[in-house]
Structures are given as structure tokens and as C-alpha cells.
Amino acid sequence: MANRVLLGKDGNGDYCLKVSASGANVLTTSNLTFNSLITDSTSGVTSTEGRAFNVIQSGVINGSGTTAATYSVQFPSIVDNSGNYSIPFVHALYEKTVTETNIAAGYYTGYGYHASGTYSWGAYMLLESHGFNSSGGNYTSGTQYGRLRFNASNPGNMSLSYYILAIPAHG
């Protein structure tokens, strides 16, 4: 069996956590499935340092009825040490519940909406970084929340599976 997990000093003398692919020796291979030493100094790139896709919140929003409606969920705002709020990166999957064969996947981020079309089945998504309480009302005190809203023109046919990632949209 190959050595697949290295927690310590690698051959370059760097302390790290590395995990190699099945069958590959973590001590010698570049075929890694996790590498804590990822960094990028390429011009035009702000290094992400190999952030993992940690999910801070996930769920499903199910629409109902035939009248256009807006649904929302709140998530704890992402704020840095300087007090700046960031819109999280969100992966959302729209699903038309009438038939399971019609599933549209999309990655969405930013403050704005996703225009209607064949992907979203007449729905759009709006992300707001902060300014709300846990119930979606205006923020007054305590933990501040952002809001993910989902609007559907025919909500009974709609559901939205979402994953809010601990990654600011700007990286």
C-alpha cells in the first residue's frame, strides 16, 4: 500500500499536509488530492492558497402554488477582521419537480439576479452579503446575516438546492 498522507516536513523542507491519489506515494508524487502548500504568484492572480470548498450552510427551498413568490434563507455574514462583508460563493441547483429529468445546475455569485430562462425555469436568485437578522428582517444588533432569495414565477414546479461556501466571491 502506498504512503498517501503526509503531515509534517516534505522533501523540500516545508511543513504541510499532503494527500496523494490512490496508488501514489505522497513522498514523491505530484499527483495530490490535497496540498496545503498551494500558492500562485502568477501576474493577475490573487492566490487562493488552495482553499477547500467548505460549506457553511446548505439546504433546499421548495416553492408552492402557482402564484409568483419570493423565498429566502439567511446565512451568517462573512466578515473579515477589518469589518468588510463579503458575498459568499454559492452553488445552487435549480430543479423542476414535475419531472426529475429536467434539472439545471448552475454556479451563482454576486449581488444581483440570475435572469430567467430555460435553466432557471422562470426563477432568479439574489444574494445579499449582510444587513439582516436571522429571520430576514433588517439588522439591528447581534449577529448579522446575509440573505439568499429565490424568486419563482410558478413556484409549485420549483425547488432550489443550495450550498453556501465559506469563500468570499472575490476569492
For other proteins, the binding residues (CB under 8 A) are 1, 4-5, 7, 17, 19, 21-22, 30-35, 38-46, 48, 50-54, 89, 104-115, 117, 119-120, 167, 169-171
* 3-state class (DSSP) for residue 160: strand
Which amino acid is it at 146?
G
Residue 14 CB, nearest distance to other proteins (Å)?
Answer: 14
58 HSE (CA, 13 A, CB side): 10
101 φ/ψ sector (left φ>0, alpha ψ -120 to 50, else beta): alpha
Residue 123 C-beta: closest distance to other proteins, Å: 12
- For residues 42 and 140, which CB has a smaller minimum distance to other proteins in the complex? 42
With contact defined as beta carbons under 8 Å apart, do 156 and 145 qualify?
Answer: no
Q: Shortest distance, CB of residue 155 to other proteins, whole angstroms? A: 19
CA distance 125 to 72: 9
Identity at 84, one-letter amino acid code: N
* 35 versus 133: smaller Cβ distance to other proteins: 35
Residue 12 or 30 having the CB closest to other proteins: 30
CB of 47 to other proteins, least distance (A): 8
